[in-house]
Chain A
Amino acid sequence: MRYYFMKPMLMLLLLLLCFGLCDAKPFDIQAFSDTTQYNWQDYRDRASYREDLLLRQNRLQLYELESVPFNANLLKSAVVPGWGQFATKHDTKATVILSLELVTVIGAVYFHNQAKNNYDKYFEADQIDDINNYWGKAEKPYHYSLMLVGLASVIWGYNIYDVVISTNEYNAKLWDDIMQRQGSSPLQITPNGLELRF
């Protein structure tokens, strides 16, 4: 069964190969080695182009080394709010976000536990005053807990929004810094080490 299926396929492939070879053009070494197509008038132009290319490659390598990866930073902030902002050197903002998130989450857990304890007592109560009393004591902290969960979610959402903005800003600023560093100083830090230009 498999053999009968493969045979026409092989024939078709061979046919296509034949057509391809018939249509092939000979490699034009003259056109390939013509440097004027790149606007190089002489070897100096070519050397300066090569130098410029190397410089750009160096900058790109430096950028890749020092930049903050966007997806990884987003994941960091999603797991621990503020972590991504720490990576982009926005330490104050990161501290505020992390502190607020911790306070709201701890507060929500505290009020939720309080509500749960009182709810358990409410559920077990068989005296009308106890039923009403424990219900009141369960309902209020539960609403506080919900409010804090909501607030924590809003802070978390803002943190995600902010890490997107701050990562992009950081990387854009880093690119500008690299451009300035490369242009201003004769002593350069390159991915390959130190480089002194004369």
Chain B
Amino acid sequence: MIRKFIPLILILLALGACDIKRDNPLDPYHNHSIVKPGDVTGLHGIVRNAGTLTPYIEFHWNSNDSADTDGYYLYRSLGYYNSFAVVDTILHISGTSLQSYEHSAANDPSVAPGDYWYCISAFKDYPQGRLEGRLSSLHLVRILSQ
């Protein structure tokens, strides 16, 4: 009776041996020396110099642990569901509870009156590459013309 199932068992064993593996060198599930960058919280932006030629947005967010964060990516989008583009890469400053960044029209002419959605993520550098963490919750910034 069991002989009838031998080919089936062999097929299942052969197929089981063909499983794919999580072998991305930056995957924390594959490489346990990789630490996932912490989630960034507390992002808020304050618009300064609104109505002038050089408005800028002053961003602050809570500091991540230096053990899992080397820097941050700040993203911006024109809509909540639109795709996000990296505005700048900011290096982590250890020893402070808040990190900050200024997105200014003096450096980036796209900082103009309008509504913008910002979010931020942390990253950590490894010899295998740079691993980016999860995106923070979105933050709306409105730059008024006058």
**B11–A150 contact, CB under 8 A?**
yes
Q: What does the 1/0 interface line of B25-56 toward A look like (CB < 8 Å)?
A: 01110000000110000000000000000000
Which of B98-146 touch A at CB < 8 Å?
121, 129-135
**A115–B8 contact, CB under 8 A?**
no
Task: Work out how many contacts link A and B, with CB atoms closer than 8 A.
Answer: 47
Greatest chain A CB density within 10 A among B18, B36, B132 is at: B132
Greatest chain B CB density within 10 A among A115, A122, A128, A146 is at: A128
Contact among B12, B23, B27, B135 with A150 in the assembled complex (CB-CB below 8 Å):
B12
Question: With A128-B134, A131-B27, A149-B15 in contact, is A157–B36 under 8 Å at CB?
Answer: no
User: Is A119 in contact with chain B by the CB < 8 A criterion?
Assistant: yes
- Report Cα–Cα, A135/B19, bound state, in Å: 13
* Closest CB in chain B relative to A132 CB, distance in Å: 9
* Closest CB in chain B relative to A136 CB, distance in Å: 11
- Report Cα–Cα, A114/B28, bound state, in Å: 24
Instruction: With CB as the reference atom, state the residue of chain A lying closest to B131.
Output: A126
**B132–A135 contact, CB under 8 A?**
no
Report the count of interface residues on B (CB-CB < 8 A). Answer: 24
* Closest CB in chain B relative to A120 CB, distance in Å: 11
Question: With A126-B129, A128-B131 in contact, is A139–B23 under 8 Å at CB?
Answer: no
A123: B residues at CB distance < 8 A? 23-24
**B130–A126 contact, CB under 8 A?**
yes
B23: A residues at CB distance < 8 A? 123
B3: A residues at CB distance < 8 A? none
Contact among B18, B27, B129 with A146 in the assembled complex (CB-CB below 8 Å):
B18
B36: A residues at CB distance < 8 A? 128
User: Is B1 in contact with chain A by the CB < 8 A criterion?
Assistant: no
Greatest chain A CB density within 10 A among B7, B24, B133, B135 is at: B24
Contact among B7, B11, B37 with A128 in the assembled complex (CB-CB below 8 Å):
B37
Which of A125-139 touch B at CB < 8 Å?
125-129, 131, 135, 138-139
Query: Which residues from chain A sit less than 8 Å from chain B, CB to CB?
Result: 115, 119, 122-123, 125-129, 131, 135, 138-139, 142, 146, 149-150, 153-154, 157
Query: Which residues from chain B sit less than 8 Å from chain A, CB to CB?
Result: 7-8, 11-12, 15, 18-20, 22-24, 26-28, 36-37, 121, 129-135
Q: What are 25 A-B contacts with C-beta separation under 8 Å? A: A115-B20, A125-B26, A126-B129, A126-B132, A127-B121, A127-B132, A128-B36, A128-B37, A129-B134, A129-B135, A131-B26, A131-B27, A135-B22, A135-B27, A138-B20, A139-B20, A142-B19, A142-B20, A146-B19, A150-B11, A150-B15, A153-B11, A154-B8, A154-B11, A157-B7
